[in-house]
Amino acid sequence: MNVTSATDSTSKSSSSTSSTTSTSSNSVDYNTFLQLLVAEMKNQDPTNPMDTSQYMSQFAQLSTVEQAMQTNTKLDALLSSQSLSQADGLIGKTVSFTDATGATFSGKVKSISINSDGSVATLENGTKVAVGPGLTISQS
């Protein structure tokens, strides 16, 4: 059986599927894995069907991939929750930091926003500070 690569850009396909998420061309995500498994089962030689042990092995791999994805989702939620807890503890604290020019700033934390890049503290004077290395936190 001749199967083209899932990342082969020269192959033409009659079905059109698109994904809104970007993935590395060297990795196979859950949906691609499932599509490859279904295509393999559809295109198997009827005179020489796939061995049952191979099918079960691939099904076990599919299950493992699905469980890993669920674990990653739960870990992301846990990290977000932890970030919120830590951010709550910073409100009202006095922080000081030195910027890239060498100037030192300090002030009381008024609010915290959590972005995909990390947490950003807004001081009472409106200054925004990335919460991370170089930030000194003290009791007000």
The pTM (predicted TM-score) of the whole model is: 0.45
27 band by pLDDT with thresholds 50, 70 and 90: low
Give the tokens for residue 103.
């100037």
User: In Å, how far from its chain's centre is CA 19?
Assistant: 16
Q: H-type helices in 7-98, by residue range?
A: 30-42, 52-90
> Residue 129 CB: number of other CB atoms within 10 A?
21
Tell me the domains of the chain and their CATH numbers: 53-136 (2.30.30)
Query: How would residue 104 be classed by pLDDT, with cut points 50, 70 and 90?
Result: confident
What pLDDT is stored for residue 65 in this prediction?
Answer: 80
Does the structure show a pLDDT above 70 at 8?
A: no
Is it the case that residue 30 has pLDDT exceeding 80?
A: no
The backbone torsions φ and ψ at residue 112, rounded to the nearest 5 degrees and listed phi first, read -130, 135
Residue 139 near residue 93, CB atoms below 8 Å: yes
For the stretch 46-85, pLDDT in tens is 777 667 787 778 778 878 888 888 899 899 888 878 877 8
Q: Which residues contact 30 (CB under 8 A, 6 or more apart)?
A: 65, 66, 69
**Of 119, 116, 124, whose CA–CA distance to 88 is shortest?**
119
